[in-house]
Structure 1
């Protein structure tokens, strides 16, 4: 088994050996070594107690932290000669006991590396390298599972998930990140124990969902989330998209369509220099949530047709509620909900190309989400009709070209009325209040409709509006 161990790990191993303590590299870094994947954060476990290895870590590192001290964990950063850094965390051997109503363990120190490995989530994360000799330790045959791309728990899966239900979310996340399959007994245990996920904080669930969506294959992760039954609890709007087809099969399988949109949106992400650098959490969330309003708005029309009127607006409200419940940051909630609300906006352009005013309004309403909205809209055009597909792509290309042309003439990304609020009050003799806001809105609409105009033209329009409103 050939691999190159990080020199920092070997340095620490020698320092711990000299002090009379055991040290082993464990978990993800060992797995990534075998997969030849990069890893910038190194996890270790040791026979030493925190107060015993703290001086070693402080002397070795260029930075030190102890936020995990109550769990037996201390950390440090080491700066390399090339300017890069490696982060390490070292934890005393543990043997946790769990309260059935909490996923937070009562930390008890263990006395062996093998015992520590037995409490880990999956066999592929329960391998270790004793340092500095680099002895490979694999009591649960994680290397075999790694080769088979299989996720199994080191102990009975029911015990493992009962101890820490978040491990069920980690399983579906690893499906997305690593392309692994969940072993049959492990998958069965997840299906039977989904209710246990309710004791996990929304923040923890959110973090796992975020890692899943930002992974190499979130499509597979979402499928696993739904198949396991976990989605029924943590993201119920997604399995709800598995609508029963109407008897005439005249509308799409919305769940399958959603996964297709997710794949297409990811394919439209850009490199770091582009407007939507991959991986983009907001775009990917919008892709999986864009049609969540359909189950509530589905209506069977005469002739066997199916409609989903205003599913964009209903979906935006549902999205906002769900993302808030998952404790996503406010700006992410606002951005994703806005994309869901606007994802049908462009479709009217195909039937009748917009005026310049309508193009300005589209850009203004999309704001900083303009490039994401266009990508979501393109991704959502999943028609199998090649002619319709070509027409849609041509229309979107044309609209984007018009936006570029208008941006060269005027700053439509930051459109403001030609007369600001202060000048409106001065011209009309108003004091701050609702009338000023109403006047400003009219002047903004005028600006959107007519583009930039000379100042005297804008003043004349304001006075005309004021007279029409009965203002002297």
Structure 2
């Protein structure tokens, strides 16, 4: 942060105030992880912070000032300065009550975990670690500065944050933290859906989301966040043998992440959520046939609806909800491909229905193969290689992602001698179906087909 840290520290010290870098930036610097944004804490109240950075910061914003936070940008760095504080939830409140403190120790003792309760005083760069955070960091262990029950009572979202850090940093939870998290999981219900969603998103985008999901299930958090996931652990007995859907879903998530990396994709929240949720419709659609045969008819349709409802309840953006539910609805479509007997029109429909989600659907469908039968797995991989090649060829030939009928709306009106209205839309859809079935026809052939259709459908 130098010279910015030194300048800002001197500025606060000259006015008789303390300032320290705290929390995540200190932790990440010690781990050798890149640090882009900086959190600082001070004994100065927000109004005083604004006075001290006036004329020095390039930009200042106050959206978090009610919680004691002033944001600013200086020389390409983004900083947030927060007054020493403690915050706590009342038993039935969804909003924390914030009060200001007057010492760095008081601020650190109320933080979530010891690895986030380390600080560096400015401008002298004195390292402050009153709760053994450095030792816990070296041991990859999450502990709380005080009693975990007190920490989780102050802010129940910290229970979710614990499993997120496990997934993000590869940490384990100290026994007393695990016990408190499991015993207080119900407290998550008072936290706003938006805050839970943000932690879940970070967990899903972490290097090991499976680790976080498993912890959520083990500790009982999933009942309040993604209750459909623990229900995937369908019982298996000698009469009703079938795949463990919970384990399968986690394996699909792992394999989707591997394919992301192999294809040079960035961590993809939509894809990862779809991989985790793709089979959540199975418990509701499970039925038993002769000989104990298990079926899950239309589980993709039911699962798409369930995904939409769950992600909406968690206040995910509408585009994320729509994209995840669509991938869940489409994830079985490829299995009708068989040995490549689909016509070009069927391949066009497959690509058209996926639309901008096509590449994600490719990854999800490949990841969904978890069979231990090597011959079957190899056959599925060959079939998907084939359909991807065919889609690519058709795309090159026909610009598949820009499919349009050979005649536009104005031309349809002119040929039929009609004005704008429902008839034009019906004719356009008819021509689009012809385009999907036959490929490019040209305007002359399309005109003949349009007139033939109109003779049968226009009174």
TM-score, scaled relative to structure 2: 0.96
Aligned equivalent of 2:374: 386
Which residue of structure 1 lines up, in the alignment, with residue 387 of structure 2? 399
Aligned residues between the structures: 459
Contact persistence 2:240–2:293 (CA under 8 A): no
Counterpart CA distance in 2 for 1:248 and 1:387 is 26
Q: 1:6 to 1:176 in 2, by over 3 A?
A: farther
Structure 2 contact 109–146 (Cα < 8 Å) conserved = yes
Aligned-residue offset at 1:248: 4.0
Query: Partners of 1:58 and 1:164 in 2: how far apart?
Result: 33
Partner of 1:82: none
The structural deviation recorded for 1:96 is 3.2
CA contact (8 A) 2:162 2:173 kept: yes
> Equivalent of 1:355, from 343, 356, 363?
343
Partner of 2:200: 209
The CA deviation at 1:187 is: 1.3
Is contact 2:40–2:81 with CA below 8 Å preserved after alignment? yes
Consecutive unaligned residues in structure 1, runs of 5 or more: 80-84
Alignment partners' CA distance in 2, 1:206 and 1:165:
14
Conserved? CA contact 2:240–2:294, under 8 Å = no
SS at match of 1:107: strand
Residue 56 (structure 1) aligned to one of 33, 52, 60:
52
Does the residue aligned with 1:95 lie in a helix, a strand or coil? strand
Conserved in 2, the CA contact under 8 Å of 1:364 and 1:414? no
1:282 aligns with: 270
Per-residue deviation, residues 143-175 of structure 1 (Å, max 9, x unmatched): 111111111121222221122111111111111
- SS in structure 1 of the partner of residue 323 of structure 2: helix
Which residue in 1 is equivalent to 2:34? 38
Counterpart CA distance in 2 for 1:325 and 1:185 is: 31
In structure 2, distance between residues paired with 1:105 and 1:368: 41
Q: Does structure 1 conserve the Cα–Cα contact (< 8 Å) formed by 2:19 and 2:42?
A: yes
Q: Does 1:454 align with 2:442?
A: yes
In 1, Cα distance between the equivalents of 2:88 and 2:374?
Answer: 59
> Residue by residue, what CA displacement relative to the aligned partner does 1:330-381 show, whole Å, maximum 9, x if unpaired?
1111111111000011111124521111111111111001111011000001
Contact 2:88 2:155 (C-alpha < 8 Å) held by counterparts: no
1:78 paired to 2:74: yes
Partners of 2:243 and 2:4 lie apart in 1 by 54
Taking a change above 3 Å as real, the CA distance of residues 131 and 182 of structure 1, as seen in their structure-2 partners, is same
Counterpart secondary structure, 1:174: helix
- Displacement of 1:324: 0.9
Change (3 A) 1:103 1:30: farther
Residue 311 (structure 1) aligned with residue 299 (structure 2):
yes
Find the aligned partners of 2:74 and 2:305 in 1 and give their Cα distance: 46
Task: Please report how far the alpha carbon of residue 270 of structure 1 lies from its aligned counterpart in structure 2 after TM superposition.
Answer: 5.1
Q: How does 1:130-279 map to 2 (within 5 A)?
A: 130-248=121-239, 250-269=241-260, 277-279=265-267
CA deviation map 1:408-457 (0-9, x unaligned): 22111111111223333333344444433332222111110000002121
Contact 1:26 1:43 in 2 (8 A): yes
Secondary structure in 1 aligned to 2:297?
coil
| Counterparts of 2:252 and 2:451, CA distance in 1 | 49
Picking from 412, 419, 425, the partner of 2:400 is: 412
Q: 1:368 aligns with which of 356, 376, 387?
A: 356
* Bigger shift: residues 5-14 or 176-185: 5-14
Shift of 1:392: 0.9
2:448 and 2:412 map into 1 onto residues whose CA distance is 12
CA distance in 1, matches of 2:7, 2:266: 36
Q: Deviating runs (4+, > 6 A) in structure 1?
A: none
Shift of 1:59: 3.0
Q: CA deviation at 1:12?
A: 1.7
Secondary structure of the corresponding residue to residue 34 of structure 2: coil
Unmatched tracts of structure 2, length 5 or more: none
Q: SS state of the match for residue 338, structure 2?
A: helix
Distance 2:28 2:382 in 1: 44
SS at match of 2:60: strand
Greater mean deviation of Cα atoms: 17-26 or 208-217:
17-26
How far apart are 1:71 and its partner, in Å? 2.1
1:65-90 deviation line (CA, Å, top 9, x unaligned): 122222222121111xxxxx211111
Contact 1:103 1:165 in 2 (8 A): no
| Residue of structure 2 equivalent to 1:90 | 81
2:339/2:383 contact within 8 Å kept: no
Aligned counterpart for 1:12 among listed residues 8, 12, 15: 8
Asked if 1:301 is matched to 2:292, the reply is no
Q: State the alpha-carbon separation in 1 of the partners of residues 235 and 245 from structure 2.
A: 10
TM-score if structure 1 supplies the norm length? 0.93
- The Cα RMSD (Å) is 1.7
